[in-house]
């Protein structure tokens, strides 16, 4: 029973990790919290379902949905962040809340407010390993989530743009002096952040068969909680925090009932803030290691 719940928690946590990374990229590099990420997550599921209804396979729907949600975050950057770059931090934060409401209302008007679900895209094959049972669909979703996390980590650590992101995270002024095109880095950061949130949305929709214009708020808040628990501004911390939140949520439902789910998750967040405010992999001075 415990091992089964642990596996289920890891699968759910992989989705939270992707959302937490989407928040973390902007927080670590630009010191900005984009509250619209939850609705970008929702748009990922909506776009993915739309492409599948148009007759595309999942293998095409996923990258296309990621491109669309990445472009949605570029819209946020253009109209919410860029004009307010020198404003107090609270101002762009409030503007992203406005974009969150805007995306939700556009979705309701274009796609309707009813819940939908993805059509079956794989044979419902269940795999049993001792007492642990999981479906092939769950395995593919977990594998894709892990692959996206590994790809992002390699992108940040090994590529020129990734090095530029780390340079901007350390100091925007110093990065500019060293020749880093920080405008390009900011655009890429928003795009990658939106793409990961969109991927989380379509994978969440496939896993739980829930697609709704109102599905983004709760996972978005859980993503913020995962970012804080793992360490704000730390990508690997966001991965650990997301897995931790997913496991705690599933275990609390399995052993204490669904009513205890949010109590356990946000109680963990409270303890993290109380006992280790910098997070599991965070540092006391975040400017030394922002991403």
| Residue 107 domain flag | yes
What pTM was computed for the model? 0.90
Backbone angles phi, psi at 31, to 5 degrees: 55, 45
| Residue 53 domain flag | yes
- Residue written as token pair 């993805």: 118
Q: How many CA atoms lie within 13 A of 245 on its CB side?
A: 36
Q: What is the pLDDT of residues 8-26, one digit of tens each?
A: 899 899 999 999 999 999 9
* 82 class by beta-carbon count within 10 Å (0-12 exposed, 13-18 middle, 19+ buried): middle
Please say whether the beta carbons of 234 and 282 come within 8 A: yes
More confident residue, 29 or 130: 29
DSSP H or E run through 105: helix 90-111
Residues whose CB falls within 8 Å of the CB of residue 114, separated by 6 or more in sequence, listed in order: 212
| Residue 259 domain flag | yes
- Residue written as token pair 């990445």: 70
CATH of the domain at 37: 1.10.3470
Q: What is the pLDDT of residues 173-211, one digit of tens each?
A: 788 887 888 889 999 999 999 999 999 999 998 888 789
Structural domain count, the chain: 1
| Residue 124 domain flag | no
**With the C-alpha atoms ordered 145, 151, 154, 157, is the resulting torsion angle positive or negative?**
negative
Domain region containing 148: 2-118+131-288
Please say whether the beta carbons of 46 and 252 come within 8 A: no
């Amino acid at each position: 029973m415990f091992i089964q719940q642990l596996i289920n928690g890891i699968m759910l946590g992989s989705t939270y990790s992707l959302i937490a990374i989407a928040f973390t990229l902007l927080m670590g590099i630009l010191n900005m919290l984009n509250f619209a990420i939850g609705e970008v997550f929702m748009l990922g599921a909506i776009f993915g379902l739309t492409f599948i209804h148009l007759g595309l396979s999942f293998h095409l729907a996923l990258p296309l949905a990621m491109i669309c949600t990445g472009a949605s975050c570029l819209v946020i950057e253009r109209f919410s962040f860029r004009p307010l770059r020198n404003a107090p931090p609270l101002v762009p934060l409030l503007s992203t809340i406005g974009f969150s409401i805007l995306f939700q209302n556009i979705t309701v008007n274009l796609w309707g407010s009813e819940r939908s679900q993805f059509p079956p895209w794989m044979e419902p094959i269940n795999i049993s390993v001792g007492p642990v049972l999981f479906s092939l669909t769950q395995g593919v979703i977990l594998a894709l989530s892990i692959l996206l996390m590994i790809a992002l980590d390699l992108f940040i650590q090994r590529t020129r743009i990734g090095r530029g992101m780390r340079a901007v995270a350390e100091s925007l002024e110093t990065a500019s002096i060293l020749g880093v095109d920080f405008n390009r880095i900011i655009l890429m950061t928003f795009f990658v952040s939106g793409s990961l949130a969109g991927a989380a949305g379509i994978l969440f929709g496939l896993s739980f068969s829930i697609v709704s214009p109102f599905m983004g708020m709760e996972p978005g808040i859980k993503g913020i909680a995962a970012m804080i628990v793992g360490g704000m501004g730390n990508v690997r911390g966001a991965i650990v925090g997301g897995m931790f939140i997913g496991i705690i949520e599933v275990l609390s439902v399995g052993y204490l009932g669904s009513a205890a789910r949010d109590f356990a998750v946000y109680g963990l967040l409270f303890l993290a803030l109380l006992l280790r405010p910098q997070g599991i992999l965070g540092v006391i001075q975040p400017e030394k290691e922002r991403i």
